[in-house]
Amino acid sequence: MDDRISALLDLAYRNVPAAEANTAIAQARQQAAESGAAPARPLREDGPGVPLSRSYELVLDPATEWQRFEADALPRLVYHLESVGAHPPLCKGIVIAAFVGDRLYFLRAADLVRHAAEAIGISVDELFRRHGTRESRTAARGPPLALPGNDKPR
């Protein structure tokens, strides 16, 4: 296995046999929600939000080389994280479930993207700039735009 991918897997906070994936992923999602994921939607109009957590499943062949991971899997992961609002540095509510051979490794999304960015030699912000949705996270600034008028008489 590529040393850089092995180093990513060393960040795993838990690993289990892949045969236990359904139960283990459900538990990991629950733990991610309890750890401070942003509210997804209110239970009632006046009620508290429901914590949102997601897992991102990743399949890595033990023979996968870093260059392939960097070119294929990492851009997809970064795009997904940004598209669901799991922005760095915390990427709250997202757990990475990486299937490698007959094992399933659980990693915090923030740990994985931080380590991957360091391995590439760029910042996490640059990683998201390159592979994210390219949508602005802030409101546009500047003078208001005039809306087109209706030039036809009524």
Instruction: Give the model confidence (pLDDT) of 21-70 as tens digits.
Output: 999 998 888 887 776 555 444 455 555 555 567 889 999 999 989 999 99
- Structure confidence at residue 134 as a pLDDT band (50, 70, 90): confident
User: Cis ω on the peptide bond leading into residue 17 (within 30° of 0)?
Assistant: no
Q: What pLDDT score does 139 carry? A: 62
pLDDT at 86: 86
**Tokens 């538990």 -> residue:** 27
The C-alpha angle 80, 53, 75, rounded to 5 degrees, equals 15
> pLDDT value at position 51?
57
pLDDT at 122: 95
pTM strictly above 0.85: no
| Contact present, 104 and 20 (Cβ < 8 Å) | yes
Q: What is the dihedral of CA 111, 115, 117, 119, to 10 degrees?
A: -170
